[in-house]
């Protein structure tokens, strides 16, 4: 049986889909090449990224399925779902049969799966647009560490490239050792290894203490409801939330508890 | 950067502002500009305070000094509380700092009335104008209109704000006269009406063929107001009538309900041990039914039943009073009819309609659509078959839903936990606002 592999990029995956459909290859599974482990039963078929094939397949999906379906595919690609590639492939193939009606087949497993996962990724991205916290570094750059279930970094980078277009910023996906870097014009994603916490600017800790103060002042004590708070703000997101961390014991801007992972 | 004194001021002026329930940062369509910030039509929540309410905007007062002596208000003139005031520049700096750190979606600026309504309104305008023009802030601004301020000032304020609001606070003329004798009802409704008219006029201009290419911004996210619940004797029916009037005639985007919390001792105020949170929750549920589900106030309540049920939500209560309308057949019912089935919301109804276009619905499909059947099961048929665990009899259904099964934890407590922010979050994510 054939296991198709690709280089791990979205374009690579689209190239792979295009190749499989054109050559009528029926992959048993689709795996990123670096994660593939050879075995006795299966045969690996690596499909190299072909940008023009990827682009024309992307256009085909947009026209035959819908822009919404393409967005679903991209969101699922960012997800931590195991076997996401083969799920995406089955959804795309089914879509080429149904055409524009694809997303109405809500009781079909192939569609329901993609919708559920896409919704999860979309929700996490939306949530992180609110929960991400930038810290001002002493070199003037803005730095935000994040820890997310899914790889929502590209969605965040796109959002903040418009919102904070006058700043140089870094969004650091700590567990994935990956960062989005923005230089006031465009952003790109790269692997980074961080060994020490970045130095904060003079004003950063003061700004954080103002925010913590505001955060505690705005709660109405007659309505205190920690269960409700955690329902909206699950504890797994607290690590880098300024308002959920105690203020550093002394003003020492070379150490920052929030950055250690 | 603002220093230590700012910490104290911020505490005083945030604590004075916290009783305003408005939290939305949604509904604006501010064009992208070279300045700092963007707005997102779905709104974004940035944190949740210890009371479980979402924090989206930096909600503060310009000053908590006030010439009025409204009985229910913590900042009333006669109260001996610490007073403070921000300068426009201090507010701008604070907003810009918080915004660029992504603590907030924008600014919510209100104020006690200092010197006169006009003076206060001018101060607020000066601040947001500075924020827009000097700091080039392009994020969300919610600005309070000051009752009694000159209408020209009101319209100027609308040019800089994404949303404006003027709080009615007490849901009847009599209550206002009793608890806020210095405020006149007209001083609240007149600016609201004038802003509403301008918004409607702008809408009509936009529809015209020879519409101008660009139109100056005018409070693109519309206006809202707040009603205090439980400080005065109005019934839920009176409050719902007022809300639907505000939505229809004043074209408001949102009415907020704020459970009354006693902050002052006054013989004209009721003594409450806990804020009426469940009642507030029921009003928000009903408010959603008015705005998104096509219900009218008179359908939800009437003179014989002027208050919402403690045990069950307003939608299922309506259904139980109208059993003749059910069950509906999921394979043929119109969208509007589906929306009236308890337990089926906007998203579920849309999913049913979508699936119906490609196949006939079977009962098993409902679980795949993640439709919650707990309440819905009594009110529909699928291909003619009824699936409820008791016949469609209002008394039996009520029993089923309110008497806890053995081994099932009562959901009574949960009612207090779900407040408006649940629906806010859901709608924010799905863009239903």
pLDDT for B380 beyond 80? yes
Percent of chain B having pLDDT more than 70? 92
Domains and CATH numbers, chain B: 4-307 (3.20.20.70), 322-420 (no CATH)
Q: From residue B170, how far is each of A107, B183, B213, B228, B301 by CA, in Å?
A: 48, 11, 42, 6, 20
Percent of chain A having pLDDT more than 90? 89
Domain ranges for chain A, please list them. 2-123, 132-259
B361, closest residue in chain A (CA to CA): A107
Q: What is the pLDDT of residues A168-219, one digit of tens each?
A: 999 999 999 999 999 999 999 999 987 777 899 989 999 999 999 999 999 9
Which of B56, B59, B101 is facing A207, going by the closest CB pair?
A: B101
Cβ–Cβ of A218/B354 closer than 8 Å?
no
Q: Is A251 on the interface with B (CB under 8 A)?
A: no
B139, closest residue in chain A (CA to CA): A163
Q: Give yes or no for a contact between B312 and B398, defined as CB atoms under 8 angstroms apart.
A: yes
What's the rounded mean pLDDT across residues B161-175? 94
A223, closest residue in chain B (CA to CA): B51
Q: How large is the ipTM?
A: 0.91
Q: Which residues of A touch B259 (CB under 8 A)?
A: 223
pLDDT for B234 beyond 70? yes
Which of B14, B34, B355 is facing A214, going by the closest CB pair?
A: B14
Q: Is A188 on the interface with B (CB under 8 A)?
A: no
Angle between helices A84-98 and A109-131 (to 10 degrees): 120
Q: Which residues of B touch A228 (CB under 8 A)?
A: 48, 51-52, 417-419, 421
What pLDDT is recorded for position A185? 93
pLDDT for A29 beyond 60? yes
Mean pLDDT of chain B: 90
Q: How far apart are CA A4 and CA A16, in angstroms?
A: 8
- A 128-167 residues with CB below 8 A of B? 129-136, 142, 144, 160, 162-167
Q: How far apart are CA A170 and CA A144, in angstroms?
A: 6
Q: How far apart are CA A149 and CA A128, in angstroms?
A: 11
Q: Is A243 on the interface with B (CB under 8 A)?
A: yes
Distance of CA A66 to the CA centre of its chain: 22
Mutate to test the interface with B, among A140, A217, A227, A258 (most CBs of B within 10 A): A217
B93, closest residue in chain A (CA to CA): A207
pLDDT for A255 beyond 70? no
Q: What is the pLDDT of residues B103-161, one digit of tens each?
A: 999 999 999 999 999 999 999 999 999 999 999 999 999 999 999 999 999 999 999 99
Which of B11, B37, B46 is facing A163, going by the closest CB pair?
A: B37
Q: What is the pLDDT of residues A105-121, one digit of tens each?
A: 999 999 999 999 999 99
What pLDDT is recorded for position A20? 96
Q: What is the pLDDT of residues A128-169, one digit of tens each?
A: 999 999 999 999 999 999 999 999 999 999 999 999 999 999
What pLDDT is recorded for position B341? 97
Cβ–Cβ of B97/A243 closer than 8 Å?
no
A130 has which bridge partners?
Answer: none
Q: What is the pLDDT of residues B397-419, one digit of tens each?
A: 999 999 876 554 444 444 444 43
Cβ–Cβ of B38/A162 closer than 8 Å?
yes
Per-residue pLDDT band at B164 (split at 50, 70, 90): very high
What pLDDT is recorded for position B407? 52
CA torsion, ordered B334, B337, B339, B340, to nearest 10 deg: -170
DSSP chain A: -EEEEE-SSHHHHHHHHHHHHHTT---SEEEEGGG----SS-EEEE----HHHHHHHHHHHHHHT-HHHHHHHHHHHHS--TTHHHHHHHHHHHHHHHGGGGGG-TTSHHHHHHHHHHHHHHHHHHHHHHH---EEBTTS-EEEEE--SS--HHHHHHHHHHHTTTS-EEEEETTTTEEEEE-SS-EEEEE----SPPPBPTTHHHHHHHHHHHHHHTS-GGG--HHHHHHHS-GGG-TT-GGGSPPPSS--TT--GGG--
For residue A20, the number of C-alpha atoms closer than 13 Å in the C-beta half-sphere is: 27
Query: Rounded to a whole number, what is the distance in Å from the CA of B45 to chain A's nearest CA?
Result: 6
Q: How far apart are CA A59 and CA A70, in angstroms?
A: 9
Q: Give yes or no for a contact between B172 and B190, defined as CB atoms under 8 angstroms apart.
A: no
Mean pLDDT of chain A: 92
Which of B7, B42, B417 is facing A225, going by the closest CB pair?
A: B417
Q: Classify residue B251 as left (phi > 0), alpha (psi -120 to 50) or beta.
A: left
What pLDDT is recorded for position B214? 82
What pLDDT is recorded for position B421? 38
Cβ–Cβ of A103/B354 closer than 8 Å?
yes
3-state secondary structure A19-74: HHHHCCCCCCEEEEHHHCCCCCCCEEEECCCCHHHHHHHHHHHHHHCCHHHHHHHH
Cβ–Cβ of A122/B425 closer than 8 Å?
no
- A 89-118 residues with CB below 8 A of B? 98, 101, 103-107, 112
Between residues A244 and A259, which one has the greater pLDDT? Answer: A244
Q: How far apart are CA A258 and CA A132, in angstroms?
A: 13
């Amino acid at each position: 049986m054939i296991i198709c592999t690709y280089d791990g990029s979205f374009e690579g995956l689209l190239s792979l889909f295009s190749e499989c459909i054109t050559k009528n290859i029926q992959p048993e599974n689709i795996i990123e090449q670096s994660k593939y482990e050879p075995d006795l039963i299966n045969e690996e078929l690596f499909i190299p990224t072909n940008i023009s094939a990827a682009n024309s397949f992307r256009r085909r999906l947009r026209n035959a399925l819908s822009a919404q379906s393409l967005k679903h595919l991209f969101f699922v690609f960012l997800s931590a779902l195991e076997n996401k590639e083969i799920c995406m492939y089955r959804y795309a193939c089914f879509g080429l049969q149904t055409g524009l009606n694809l997303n109405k087949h809500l009781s079909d497993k192939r569609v329901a799966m993609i919708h559920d996962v896409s919704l999860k990724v979309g929700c996490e991205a939306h949530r992180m647009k609110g929960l991400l916290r930038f810290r001002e570094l002493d070199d003037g750059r803005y730095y935000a560490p994040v820890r997310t279930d899914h790889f929502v970094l590209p969605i965040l980078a796109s959002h903040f490239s418009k919102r904070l277009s006058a700043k140089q910023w870094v969004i650091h996906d700590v567990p994935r050792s990956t960062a989005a870097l923005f230089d006031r014009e465009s952003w790109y994603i790269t692997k980074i290894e961080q060994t020490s916490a970045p130095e904060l600017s003079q004003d950063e800790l003061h700004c954080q203490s103002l925010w913590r103060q505001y955060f505690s002042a705005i709660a109405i004590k007659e309505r205190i409801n920690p269960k409700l708070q955690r329902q909206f703000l699950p504890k797994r997101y607290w690590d880098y939330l300024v308002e959920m961390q105690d203020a550093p014991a002394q003003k020492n801007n070379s150490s920052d508890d929030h950055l250690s992972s | 950067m603002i220093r230590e004194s700012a910490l104290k001021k911020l505490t005083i002026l945030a604590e004075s502002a916290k009783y305003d329930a408005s939290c939305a940062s949604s509904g604006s369509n501010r064009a992208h500009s070279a300045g700092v910030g963007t707005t997102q039509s779905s709104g974004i929540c940035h944190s949740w305070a210890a009371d479980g309410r979402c924090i989206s905007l930096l909600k503060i007062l310009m000053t908590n000094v006030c010439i009025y002596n409204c009985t229910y208000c913590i900042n009333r003139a006669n109260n001996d509380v610490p007073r403070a005031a921000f300068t426009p520049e201090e507010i701008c700096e604070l907003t810009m700092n918080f915004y660029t750190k992504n603590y907030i979606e924008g600014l919510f600026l209100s104020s006690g009335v200092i010197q006169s309504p006009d003076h206060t309104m001018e101060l607020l305008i000066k601040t947001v104008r500075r924020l827009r023009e000097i700091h080039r802030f392009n994020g969300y601004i919610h600005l309070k209109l000051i009752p009694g301020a000159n209408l020209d000032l009101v319209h100027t304020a609308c040019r800089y704000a994404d949303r404006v609001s003027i709080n009615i606070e007490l849901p009847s003329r009599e209550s206002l006269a009793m608890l806020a004798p210095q405020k006149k009802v007209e001083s609240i409704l007149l600016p609201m009406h004038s802003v509403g008219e301008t918004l409607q006029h702008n809408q009509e201009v936009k529809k015209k063929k020879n519409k101008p290419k660009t139109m100056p911004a005018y409070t693109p996210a519309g206006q809202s107001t707040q009603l205090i619940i439980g400080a005065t004797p109005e019934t839920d029916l009176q409050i719902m009538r007022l809300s639907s009037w505000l939505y229809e005639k004043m074209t408001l985007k949102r009415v907020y309900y704020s459970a009354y919390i006693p902050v002052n001792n006054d013989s004209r105020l009721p003594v409450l041990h806990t804020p009426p949170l469940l009642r507030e929750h029921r009003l928000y549920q009903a408010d959603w039914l008015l705005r998104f589900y096509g219900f009218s106030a008179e359908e939800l309540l009437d003179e014989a039943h002027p208050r919402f049920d403690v045990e069950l939500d307003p939608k299922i209560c309506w259904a139980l009073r109208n059993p003749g309308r059910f069950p509906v057949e999921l394979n043929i019912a119109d969208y509007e009819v589906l929306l009236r089935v308890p337990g089926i919301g906007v998203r579920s109804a849309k999913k049913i309609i979508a699936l119906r276009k490609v196949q006939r619905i079977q009962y098993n499909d409902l679980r795949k659509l993640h439709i919650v059947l707990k309440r819905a099961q009594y009110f529909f048929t699928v291909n003619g078959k009824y699936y409820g665990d008791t016949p469609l009899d209002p008394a039996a259904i009520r029993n089923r839903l309110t008497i806890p099964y053995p081994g099932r934890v009562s959901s009574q407590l949960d009612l207090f936990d779900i407040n408006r922010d649940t629906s806010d979050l859901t709608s924010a994510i799905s863009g239903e606002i």
